């Protein structure tokens, strides 16, 4: 499918599903439009279809706790862009691929919830505020080593160092490796040769980092980090006029590549 076709479909579908912005103080960064609040929803019952799984976490006693809530306009960091980010994304995924995901429901789980093992792909927002216990990490380690794949998104600057630390605790034998547009994940469905061209945080240049089995890029990818980037905010506000259509399309293309790659490897 051509980029022109994607632009048309992505824009028209996003306009149909997005809620109009009501805040007069709209701005980019972390939480998007201030004034939006998330509401707890029941998890979708498991039926074997691809379902967007968002990871919930406790922040612990952190000096950055207040910052996490302020970035999200009062939402906890793990819930930034929830649920409209995943709703808009899964509708695009359904429209353009044969994955056939749930589009009206999603799942929120703790990193050590046994239910997580039913879902091969999970997503975490703002991992800079993630402060897991040893028990939580033990469960998450088992999930990842048994075939799970996690996407880290919506974080910037020094948030990276906390993510590195927590993943070292979970997987001390593995480490993040920097990847670029030559990696197959950027050609899983759409060819995206320059993924770094999609920016979210102005002065922060995005990079992409992955964890592989045995620290070998030829083997299974376990985790992917969109460092200094925020794909889900593009998804959340698609169709509102907040961002250029071309940038929103690139965010959808990256997300689609991630899911297709994870489900086909």
For the stretch 213-243, pLDDT in tens is 999 999 999 999 999 999 999 999 998 989 9
Is 52 among the domain residues?
Answer: yes
Domain encompassing residue 181? 3-20+47-264
pLDDT band for 201, please (50, 70, 90 cuts).
Answer: confident
Is 34 among the domain residues?
Answer: no
Mean pLDDT of 23-28: 30
- 17 has pLDDT over 50: no
Mean pLDDT of 135-150: 98
- 29 has pLDDT over 60: no
Is 40 among the domain residues?
Answer: no
Is 42 among the domain residues?
Answer: no
What percent of the chain lies above the pLDDT cut of 70?
80
How is the beta sheet containing 221-227 ordered, strand by strand? 107-110, 53-56, 121-125, 149-153, 221-227, 207-212, 177-179
What separation in angstroms does the CA of 226 have from each of 6, 127, 229? 22, 11, 5
The enclosing domain of 98 has a CATH number of 3.40.50.12140
What percent of the chain lies above the pLDDT cut of 90?
74
Is 12 among the domain residues?
Answer: yes
Pair 51, 109: CB distance under 8 Å: no
Q: How many domains does the chain have?
A: 1
Is 33 among the domain residues?
Answer: no
Please give the full DSSP string across 166-208, using - where no structure is assigned.
HHHHH-TT---EEE-TTSGGGGSSS--S-GGG--SBTTBPPEE
| Cα angle for residues 187, 250, 240 (degrees, 5° grid) | 155
């Amino acid at each position: 499918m051509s980029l022109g076709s994607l632009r048309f479909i992505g824009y028209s579908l996003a306009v149909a599903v997005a809620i109009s912005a009501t805040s007069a103080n709209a701005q980019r960064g972390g939480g998007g439009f201030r004034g939006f609040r998330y509401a707890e929803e029941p998890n979708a019952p498991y039926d074997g279809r691809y379902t967007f799984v968002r990871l919930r976490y406790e922040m612990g006693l952190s000096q950055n706790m207040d910052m996490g809530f302020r970035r999200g306009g009062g939402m906890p960091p793990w819930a930034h862009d929830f649920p409209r980010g995943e709703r808009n994304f899964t509708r695009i995924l359904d429209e353009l691929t044969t994955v056939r995901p749930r589009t009206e429901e999603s799942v929120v789980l703790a990193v050590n919830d046994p239910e997580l093992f039913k879902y091969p792909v999970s997503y975490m927002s703002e991992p800079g505020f993630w402060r897991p216990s040893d028990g939580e990490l033990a469960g998450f380690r088992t999930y990842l080593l048994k075939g799970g794949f996690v996407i880290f998104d919506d974080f910037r600057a020094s948030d990276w160092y906390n993510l590195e630390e927590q993943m070292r605790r979970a997987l001390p034998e593995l480490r993040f490796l920097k990847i670029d547009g030559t990696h197959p994940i950027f050609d899983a469905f759409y060819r995206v040769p320059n993924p770094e061209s999609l920016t979210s945080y102005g002065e922060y240049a995005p990079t992409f980092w992955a964890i592989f089995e045995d620290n070998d890029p030829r083997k299974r990818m376990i985790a992917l980090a969109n460092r200094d980037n925020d794909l889900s905010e593009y998804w959340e506000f698609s169709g509102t006029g907040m961002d250029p259509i071309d940038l929103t399309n690139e965010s959808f293309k990256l997300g689609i590549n991630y899911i297709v790659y994870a489900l086909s490897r």
